[in-house]
């Protein structure tokens, strides 16, 4: 059986797919704008809200919303772990190893092209980590993996994968990369900054592959959490 004809099964429902895809826009665009309004209103009343506090609220809200609307999918997918626990662990291990190998290669290439390979999103993460390590760690290891994997791999990849495997990988990897950098492109755009997208495409592909190969979204959630944990730990000492 060819890769293109490989059967892909997922416990996600059509309604959950639609919600997850729509919520990508809500989470990426609408919610940040709403929190900005809340922050302005709070400051007018003499209340001080730090960037870390806003970040916690941002991800906590999406975490709760995703659990409410995609709980059945997450629960059913969790049960799938035990159908082939060995594949779950091996896939997670391979994904982490490949990610660091590919990322090292891409950063080496970018170092020969750009003066600074630390993109604006990572710079912001470093500032948040230094300001409050514990809050950043909770977001990176608990909230973000569940929210982002449910939206991008569970809903978006799951919806496109039933039509085209290649398109599913390309679309989700590109959108996942744009998702991390688009606010910085809008704030101060430079064509060379598009090269930063290359830093996120490998993780987008690897997370989709880990979900597809293992048959459970919890593999990509675990891989995502592990990579984020290492990143936050390193950023804390930079």
**How many folded domains does the chain comprise?**
1
Quick check: is 7 in a domain? no
Q: How far apart are CA 35 and CA 32, in angstroms?
A: 5
pLDDT over 70 at 217, yes or no: yes
pLDDT at 196: 95
Quick check: is 1 in a domain? no
| pLDDT tens digits, one per residue of 124-155 | 999 999 999 999 999 999 999 999 999 999 99
Segments forming the whole domain that contains residue 58: 14-235
| pLDDT tens digits, one per residue of 51-94 | 999 999 999 999 999 999 999 999 999 999 999 999 999 999 99
Quick check: is 9 in a domain? no
**CB 218, CB 77: distance < 8 Å:** yes
| pLDDT level of residue 190 (50, 70, 90 thresholds) | confident
pLDDT at 86: 96
pLDDT at 6: 62
Quick check: is 40 in a domain? yes
Quick check: is 6 in a domain? no
Quick check: is 171 in a domain? yes
Residue 199 has what DSSP assignment?
Answer: G
pLDDT at 203: 97
**CB 236, CB 134: distance < 8 Å:** no
The CA–CA distances, whole Å, from 87 to 91, 93, 219 equal 6, 10, 10
Quick check: is 2 in a domain? no
* Stretch 162-188: mean pLDDT: 93
Quick check: is 52 in a domain? yes
The CA–CA distances, whole Å, from 158 to 1, 33, 54, 125, 224 equal 20, 28, 30, 29, 17
């Amino acid at each position: 059986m060819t890769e293109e004809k490989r059967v892909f099964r997922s416990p996600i429902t059509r309604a959950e797919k639609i919600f997850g895809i729509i919520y990508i826009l809500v989470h990426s665009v609408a919610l940040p704008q709403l929190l900005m309004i809340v922050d302005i209103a709070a400051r007018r009343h003499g209340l001080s809200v730090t960037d870390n506090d806003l970040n916690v609220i941002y991800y906590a809200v999406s975490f709760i919303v995703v659990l409410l609307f995609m709980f059945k999918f997450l629960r059913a997918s969790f049960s799938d772990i035990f159908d082939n626990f060995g594949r779950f662990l091996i896939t997670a291990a391979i994904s982490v190893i490949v990610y660091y190998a590919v990322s090292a290669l891409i950063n080496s290439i970018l170092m020969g092209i750009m003066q600074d390979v630390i993109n604006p999103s990572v710079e912001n993460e470093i500032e948040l980590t230094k300001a409050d390590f514990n809050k950043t760690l909770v977001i990176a290891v608990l909230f973000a993996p569940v929210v982002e994997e449910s939206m991008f791999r569970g809903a978006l990849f799951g919806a496109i994968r039933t039509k085209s495997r290649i398109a599913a990988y390309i679309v989700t990897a590109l959108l996942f990369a744009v998702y991390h950098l688009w606010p910085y492109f809008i704030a101060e755009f430079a064509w060379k900054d598009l090269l930063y997208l290359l830093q996120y495409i490998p993780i987008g592909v690897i997370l989709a592959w880990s979900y597809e190969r293992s048959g459970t979204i919890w593999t990509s959630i675990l891989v995502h959490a592990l990579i984020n944990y290492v990143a936050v730990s390193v950023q804390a000492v930079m």
